[in-house]
């Protein structure tokens, strides 16, 4: 028996422990190498954890992600030269999805940007954070300070009951319920200063909590002490985000993909689409107008055999694309996948085939998310 798993193999690099390492082990997690850390892949099982998050609330340790704070004179202008974001419309307390692009418009990372007083707070992917810091440091003027918050942990509490559970512990100038999707604020939990953003990576309502690393175990215990909350591993995080149609960097996005192909045009803020002035703007702004040769689409696959990353997509005899993420959807009870396909085959309802170990599986281009998002946008 052996895995032909496509996860990055990082055995040669010494793995670091997350702040909650002992906490995960004590709760029966199985730990695997991921992004240079030992991370919990699962506790009781991926499907049980997946379903629990969709029905109740799950706590995810995402402390491997990079938390960066940028500050200094002319901050907005400096950051706009690096990211295709419109910071003039990003108000204090707001968070926005953005993209770190190379000069050719390829994706170096996808990230969140939040407006703090006199600063911008960024959350970047764990596997790319060191490269990102290099790219940002290189591109930003010397008088812009970049702080890597390596003494902060990051926990995500996700699911329809996340708000109820968290509201019992988070106190601040205003109630937690005042936060709507993609807003953040400062709160206190058990006497510790935390920032909470109403956002996540599961398609459910939920929160991302940045907290001091030394308080992580205490706060994780507190939240998992609530009847609605269980710890959830990376395995369910992946199946949840796939159902939500959200891309995973290094799989669905890479320097070889443009954000327009990936359907992430919203990550290029409106003013920047005409003004440009960010890395790769020429290609990106052209693609927004003219379209792209291929598109990232959802596929529903007939039968029960999942098509994984790397599986080839066909229209008749012609190879027209490649799966970038795929697996079995616990919510739908069927295999689903995301793939880049030639744009002429990207319309919803198009019948295609995916090849898995020499077998052709019937696949239909399907709307994403596969499972509807349930973000709390307020009224």
In terms of DSSP H, where are the helices of 122-215? Answer: 129-139, 162-167
Looking at beta carbons only, is 313 or 320 nearer to another protein?
313
Looking at beta carbons only, is 18 or 356 nearer to another protein?
356
Report the residue from 203, 235, 245, 247 that binds another protein according to the rule CB under 8 A: 235
Looking at beta carbons only, is 254 or 331 nearer to another protein?
331
Residue 340 to residue 296: CA distance in whole angstroms: 4
Which residues within the stretch 59-88 sit at the binding site for another protein (CB under 8 A)?
A: none
The answer to the question of residue 178 lying near another protein (CB under 8 A) is no
Which residues within the stretch 262-321 sit at the binding site for another protein (CB under 8 A)?
A: 304-306, 308
The answer to the question of residue 252 lying near another protein (CB under 8 A) is no
Looking at beta carbons only, is 285 or 329 nearer to another protein?
329
Looking at beta carbons only, is 164 or 355 nearer to another protein?
355
Residue 276 to residue 363: CA distance in whole angstroms: 38
Q: Count residues contacting another protein (CB under 8 A)?
A: 24
Nearest to 206 by CA among 242, 248, 176: 176
Phi, psi (5° rounding) for residue 241?
A: -70, -30
Q: What's the closest the beta carbon of residue 276 comes to another protein, in angstroms? A: 41
Q: What's the closest the beta carbon of residue 339 comes to another protein, in angstroms? A: 17
- Sign of the dihedral through C-alpha 102, 106, 110, 114: positive
The answer to the question of residue 238 lying near another protein (CB under 8 A) is yes
Which residues within the stretch 312-351 sit at the binding site for another protein (CB under 8 A)?
A: 327-328, 330, 335
Looking at beta carbons only, is 47 or 69 nearer to another protein?
47
Nearest to 319 by CA among 346, 352, 365: 352
- Torsion angle of C-alpha atoms 332, 336, 342, 347, degrees rounded to 10: -10
Report the residue from 37, 42, 86, 272 that binds another protein according to the rule CB under 8 A: 42
Report the residue from 11, 91, 118, 357 that binds another protein according to the rule CB under 8 A: 357
The arrangement of strands across the sheet holding 37-42 comes to 16-17, 37-42, 30-34
Nearest to 68 by CA among 130, 136, 139, 148: 148
Report the residue from 18, 20, 46, 87 that binds another protein according to the rule CB under 8 A: 46
Which residues within the stretch 85-124 sit at the binding site for another protein (CB under 8 A)?
A: none
Residue 323 to residue 309: CA distance in whole angstroms: 5
Q: What's the closest the beta carbon of residue 288 comes to another protein, in angstroms? A: 36
- Torsion angle of C-alpha atoms 52, 58, 62, 67, degrees rounded to 10: 140
CA-only gyration radius of the chain, Å: 21
Q: Which residue has the tokens 């990353």?
A: 309
The answer to the question of residue 41 lying near another protein (CB under 8 A) is yes
**Which DSSP helix (H) or strand (E) runs through 76?**
helix 75-80
Q: What's the closest the beta carbon of residue 153 comes to another protein, in angstroms? A: 25
Name the site residues for another protein (rule: CB under 8 A). 1-6, 41-42, 45-47, 50, 235, 238-239, 304-306, 308, 327-328, 330, 335, 357
């Amino acid at each position: 028996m052996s895995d032909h798993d496509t996860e990055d193999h990082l055995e040669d690099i010494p793995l670091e422990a997350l702040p909650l390492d002992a906490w995960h082990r004590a709760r029966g997690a199985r730990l695997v190498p991921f992004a240079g850390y030992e991370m919990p892949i699962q506790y009781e099982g991926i499907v049980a954890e997946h379903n629990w998050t969709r029905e109740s609330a799950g706590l995810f340790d995402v402390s491997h992600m990079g938390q960066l704070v940028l500050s200094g004179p002319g901050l907005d202008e400096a950051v706009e030269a690096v990211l295709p974001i419109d910071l003039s419309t990003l108000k204090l307390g707001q968070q926005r999805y953005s993209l770190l692009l190379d000069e050719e418009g390829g994706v170096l990372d996808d990230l969140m940007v939040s407006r703090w007083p006199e600063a911008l707070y960024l959350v970047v992917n764990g596997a790319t954070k060191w490269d990102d810091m290099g790219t940002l440091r290189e591109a930003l003027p010397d008088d812009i300070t970049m702080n890597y918050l390596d003494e902060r942990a990051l926990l995500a509490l996700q699911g329809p009951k996340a708000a109820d559970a968290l509201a019992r512990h988070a106190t601040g100038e205003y109630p937690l319920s005042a936060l709507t999707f993609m807003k953040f604020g400062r709160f206190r939990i058990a006497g510790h200063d935390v920032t909470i953003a109403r956002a996540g990576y599961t398609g459910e309502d939920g929160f991302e909590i940045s907290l001091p690393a030394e308080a992580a175990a205490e706060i994780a215990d507190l939240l998992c002490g609530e009847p609605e909350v269980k710890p959830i591993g990376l395995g369910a995080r992946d199946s949840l985000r796939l159902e939500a149609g959200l891309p995973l960097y290094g799989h669905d996005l890479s320097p070889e993909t443009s954000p327009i192909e990936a359907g992430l045009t919203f990550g290029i803020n409106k003013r920047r689409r005409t003004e440009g002035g960010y890395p790769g703007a020429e290609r990106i702004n052209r693609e927004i107008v003219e379209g792209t040769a291929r598109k990232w689409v959802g596929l529903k696959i007939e039968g029960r055999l999942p098509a994984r990353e790397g599986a080839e997509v066909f229209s008749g005899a012609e190879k027209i694309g490649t799966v970038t993420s795929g697996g079995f959807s616990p919510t739908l009870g069927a295999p689903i996948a995301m793939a880049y396909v030639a744009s002429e085959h990207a319309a919803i309802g198009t019948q295609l085939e995916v090849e898995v170990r020499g077998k052709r599986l019937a696949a239909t281009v399907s709307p994403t998310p596969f499972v509807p998002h349930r973000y709390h946008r307020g009224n």
